[in-house]
Amino acid sequence: MSSNDLAISVSGVSKRYELYDTPRDRLKQFVVPRLASLAGSNAGPYFREFWALRDISFDVSKGEAVGIIGSNGSGKSTLLQIITGTLAPTMGEVRTQGRIAALLELGSGFNPDFTGRENVMLNGAVLGFSTDEILRRFDAIAAFADIGEHLDQPVRTYSSGMLVRLAFAVQVQLSPDILIVDEALAVGDALFQKRCYQQIERLLNDGVTLLFVSHDQETVRTLTNRSVLLNAGRMAAIGTSSEVVLEYRKLLHARESEYYTKIASDLKKTASARVPVVAEEMAESATSESTGESALEPAPEAQNRPVGRLEFGDGGATIISTEVRDANGAASSVFHPGETIRIRIQFKTTRPLNQLNVGVRIRNKEGIKIYSWGTLNQDMQILAGIRGGEAFWSRKFGTNELVTVELDFPCSLGSNLYEVQSTVTYEATPDYMGQRQLHWVDEAAFFQVLVKRDENFFGGIVDLGMRASF
C-alpha cells in the first residue's frame, strides 16, 4: 500500500513520563545534572520512568474505521493525543494526511469563558475554515447540538452532556478527513448517542477515516472493521474487530482470575493465622459444598488446559458440544419465524461444582448481539417466587459428571445467519454480580433464519408480532 493511501501511520511510537516522589526531586533533576555535567561527572536521575506507550506501530487506510480498545491505563488516550498532535512522542513518529477532527477529553478545545457560539467560530478557525465557511455551516451545527438558548451562554455553565453535544456537532459538521472519538459520547443521552452513531456512519460512507475508542465492545465490533488492543502501553493484538474484541475479553478474564485468586489466597492466609478450630471451620465454609470456592479459584487443570483461539476459561467445566435442534430434538440449521429453536449444551465437570449458570449469546452475521440468556435468568424468577421449579443454580455436581442443558425459544428473528456463543459460569450470588467464566466458546454453533414471504413477511432483525386494527 502506498503512503498516499494511508490516512494515519504510527511507527515505533513510545511515550515516557518522569515520575518524581517530591517537588524537591524535580528541582534536583533540573539543576544538579547540569552542574555535574559542567564538572565532568554524572548525577541523578532523581525520577522514576513510566512508559505509557512502548513501540506502537500500525497503519490506517483512508476511509477505514479502526477501533482502539483496552483497559483503563492501557495508553489509549495517550496514543490519541500523540496522533492528534497535542502530545509529542518520546520515540517514533506519526504521519497523518487530511484535516483531523478529534473529540477527546470533555470540553477540550473550548474556552470556558466564551459562549457556545464564540467557541464554534474559534474551533472552526483552528480547523482552518474561514469565517464565511463557518457561518454557512453554523445552522447545521446548532441544529445538531440542539442546546437552544444555551448556545449564547458561557461554556463554563454547560453540563457535561451539553459540552459533548456542542463538541461533537462542531467536529462532524466541519467536514473532517479523519475523525477521532475517545469515549466522550458515553456522557450523552441515549437519543443523542443514536444520532451521533448515525452521523458517524454517514461520514464513513463519505470516505472519512475513523479512529474510535470505547469500552463498549459491541459498538467497537459493529462500527469498526479492524481494531488494536493495547495492554499496559503495548500493542497486544491487531486484526479484525471481532477477533480483537475476543482477545480483549480473554485479557479481562485473565485479570479477573488473578484478582479472585489473590482474594482466595488472602482468605486462606487469614484462616491459617487463627486458632485451629476456627481455621478448620473457615476452610469448611470455603469448600464447594457451601460457598463454591472451588469455582472461585481457577482449577489446577486450567493452568495446563490448551485454550483455543475461540475459547477461554478457568476450567472446572468444559463445554463438550453446542447443538441447534428443532422442537422435536432433531438437528437443524434452518428455521422460520414461529418455529421453536432448541440449543443443547453439554458440558463435563472436572471437579465438584455448584452455583453454575449455563448460557448463550446470539449474534447476527453483522456482529450485533441480539440476545443473551442463561439458566440463571430462570433461576432468579424461581428464587423470587415468580415461577415454580428447581433452580439450576442450587444443584451440585460431582467430578467427571456429564451435564446436558437445553434452552428453548420461539423464533422471532429476521432473515440472517446467527452465531451461538455458549458459556458455563460460576455465579457467587444468583444475580450476575459475582460471575466467573469456567468455559466460554465463540462460534459454538450457527443457524439460519428464513422468512416465508407469502405467509409472514416483515423487515428488520426481529418480528415484534404487530397486529392491525381498523
pLDDT in tens, 67-107: 999 988 889 989 998 998 888 999 999 999 988 888 776 55
Residue 452 burial by Cβ neighbours in a 10 Å radius (0-12, 13-18, 19+): exposed
Separation in Å, CA 284 to CA 269, 297, 351? 15, 15, 17
Asked if the model's pLDDT at residue 165 lies above 60, the reply is yes
Instruction: Give the torsion sign (CA, 293, 298, 302, 303).
Output: negative
State the DSSP H helix or E strand holding residue 55, giving kind and residue range, or none if neither: strand 48-61
Q: Which residue has the higher pLDDT, 317 or 285?
A: 317
Q: What is the pLDDT of residue 270?
A: 61
Query: Nine-digit cell at 203?
Result: 461520514
Torsion angle, alpha carbons of 305, 306, 310, 313, to 10: 20
| DSSP per position, 62-76 | TT-EEEEE--TTSSH
State the DSSP H helix or E strand holding residue 50, giving kind and residue range, or none if neither: strand 48-61
Q: What is the pLDDT of residue 46?
A: 81
pLDDT band, very low/low/confident/very high, at 405 (cuts 50, 70, 90):
very high
Kindly tell me the number of DSSP H helices and DSSP E strands found in the chain. 11, 20
Within a 13 Å sphere around the CA of 428, how many CA atoms are in the beta-carbon half? 9
Q: Which of 376, 379, 383, 357 is nearest to 438 (CA)?
A: 357
- In whole angstroms, what separates CA 254 from the centre of its chain? 15
* Cβ(404)–Cβ(345) below 8 Å: yes
Dist CA 349 CA 404 (whole Å): 11
Asked if the model's pLDDT at residue 284 lies above 50, the reply is no
Asked if the model's pLDDT at residue 467 lies above 80, the reply is yes
Dist CA 281 CA 270 (whole Å): 12
Q: Which residues contact 393 (CB under 8 A, 6 or more apart)?
A: 354, 355, 356, 357, 375, 376, 379, 383, 427, 430
pLDDT in tens, 369-386: 899 999 999 999 999 999
Q: Which residue has the higher pLDDT, 19 or 299?
A: 19
Asked if the model's pLDDT at residue 267 lies above 70, the reply is no
pLDDT band, very low/low/confident/very high, at 388 (cuts 50, 70, 90):
very high
Mean pLDDT of 51-78: 91
pTM: 0.67
Mean pLDDT of 3-15: 89
Distance in Å from the first CA to the final CA of the chain = 60
pLDDT band, very low/low/confident/very high, at 66 (cuts 50, 70, 90):
very high
Kindly give the interhelix angle for 160-173 and 190-205, rounded to the nearest 10 degrees.
10
User: Whole-number mean pLDDT of the chain?
Assistant: 83
Q: What is the pLDDT of residue 316?
A: 92
Q: Which of 365, 265, 351 is nearest to 300 (CA)?
A: 351
Q: Which residue has the higher pLDDT, 460 or 188?
A: 460
Dist CA 389 CA 396 (whole Å): 16
Asked if the model's pLDDT at residue 125 lies above 50, the reply is yes
Which domains, and CATH codes, for the chain? 3-246 (3.40.50.300), 287-449 (2.70.50.60)
Query: Which of 17-31, 44-58, 147-161, 394-408 has the highest average model confidence (pLDDT)?
Result: 394-408
Q: Which of 271, 440, 423, 294 is nearest to 354 (CA)?
A: 294
Mean pLDDT of 130-155: 86
Asked if the model's pLDDT at residue 263 lies above 80, the reply is no
Asked if the model's pLDDT at residue 225 lies above 60, the reply is yes
Dist CA 124 CA 89 (whole Å): 26
User: Largest Cα–Cα distance of the chain, in whole Å?
Assistant: 97
| DSSP per position, 2-15 | -GGGEEEEEEEEEE
Beta bridge partners of 182: 213
Provide the percentage of residues in the chain whose pLDDT is more than 90. 40
